[in-house]
Chain A
Amino acid sequence: MRTATSPSASAADSVVQPVRTLLIYLVLGVLFGIVLTKSQVISWFRVQEMFRFQAFHMYGILGSAVITAAAGLQIIRRRELRSLDGQAIVIPPKDMGRGTRYWLGGTIFGLGWALVGACPGPLLALLGSGVGVMAVALMSAIAGTWVYGALRSRLPH
C-alpha cells in the first residue's frame, strides 16, 4: 500500500525503489538461468549440433527469441511505454564505424564459442548447474576482456 505522502516517506521510497528494481533484475536473471539450462542451450553438445546444422533446436530458440523480442519492442514503441521509474524507453543505436570490430570481434568470439561450447550466459549457467571447471573458463573470459581493453587503442575498429 503506497498511501503515505510525507517527505520522509518519499525519501525512503527513493532508496527502496532501486533495490526493488534490482530484485526484478535478479528474478529475470533466475528465469533466464532456468530457461538456458532446461532448454539445454548450455550444452556443449547442442552447440556442436548447431554448428554442424544437425538439429533445428538452437536455431528455433534463437529465432523465436528474436521474433518475440522484436514484437515486444514494437509494442513498446507504438504504445510509447515508459519504464517503471517513468522514463521514456530509449534504445541507443550501435555505431557501425568501419564495421571491423563487429565481424572480426564476432569471429574471434565465435571461435571461442565453438571450443568452450558456451557463450557468456551459458558459461555462468554451466557453473551454476554444477560444471565447476567453468569457473576457470569464466576467469579466462574476464582476462580476455581485460586484454582487449589493454590492446583496444591499437586494434582496428
Chain B
Amino acid sequence: MTSAMIRSLSEPWPWYVAGPLIGLLVPALLVAGNRMFGVSSNFRHLCAAVLPARLEFFNYDWRQKGIWNLVFALGILVGATVAGLYLDGNADVPLSAAARDSLSALGIHDLGGLVPAEYFSWSALMTGRGIVMIVGGGFLVGFGTGYAGGCTSGHGISGLADMQLPSLVAVAGFFAGGLIGTWLVLPLLLGA
C-alpha cells in the first residue's frame, strides 16, 4: 500500500462506505459456509465451552456450531487492533455540535478518543458510575442478546435484511432500551 492510500484510509470512513461493506458480510458468510452474520452467539458458545453446567441452553456441540463464529470474533479483535495501530483508529470522533452540547450538559467534557476517559478506565472500576456503565452495561448486553437471540448484527442487519418480523420487534426493543438508557438512566446516573 502506498502511503497516500494509508493516509486516506486513516481518515474517518463515511457511512456510505462503512454500511455497504458491513452489509456485504451477510451474503459473503452465507456463500463461505452457510453462516448467518451475527456476533452475540459467541457469548453463548463461550459459556457452552467453559461452563455449560448442565444447563440446556449450553448443552450443544459448540465446536460444530460455534467455531466459525469464534474465529470471526477473533478477526474483529485483530481488525480493530490493526486499525488502532496503523489506521489512526483511536482518533477523535467528528461529532455533531448538538451531540457535543448534550454530552457537555451531561457533565462529559473530554470527548477525545472512542470512550469518555473518566468512566471507561481501570480506575473507573472503583467508582459506582464506572461499575454501572462497564459491568452493568456489559451484563445487560449479554443477558439481553441471549434472551432476544441476537444483537445489532444478527437481528439488526441479518434479520432485517431477511425481513424477519421477530428481528423487527427485537430492533424496536433495542431502540426502546437505548432511549430509556440515554434519556432516563444516564442523566440520573451522571447526576445532570
Contacts and interface: CB of A to CB of B under 8 A. Distances in A.
Interface in A122-157: 123-134, 136-150, 152-153, 155
On chain A, which size bracket covers the interface? 35 or more
Contacts of A137: 134-135, 137-138, 141
A135 to B, nearest CB: 10
B31 A84 contact: yes
A95 B18 contact: no
Greatest chain B CB density within 10 A among A28, A75, A131 is at A28
Identify the 4 closest CB pairs spanning chains A and B, nearest first: A29-B75, A106-B173, A110-B177, A33-B79
14 contacts: A28-B72, A30-B76, A33-B79, A48-B182, A51-B179, A61-B18, A105-B149, A110-B177, A112-B140, A141-B138, A142-B142, A144-B144, A145-B43, A146-B51
A120 B146 contact: no
Contact of A129 (B29, B90, B153): B90
Interface residues of B, number: 128
Given A69-B27, A142-B47, A108 B143 contact: yes
B174 A106 contact: yes
Contacts of B192: none
Greatest chain B CB density within 10 A among A26, A95, A128 is at A128
B161 A119 contact: no
Nearest to A103: B173
Nearest to B135: A140
A33 B78 contact: yes
B149 A144 contact: no
A6 interface: no
Contacts of A7: none
Given A25-B29, A65-B22, A73-B162, A104 B173 contact: yes
Contacts of B107: none
B68 A22 contact: yes
A129 B140 CA distance: 23
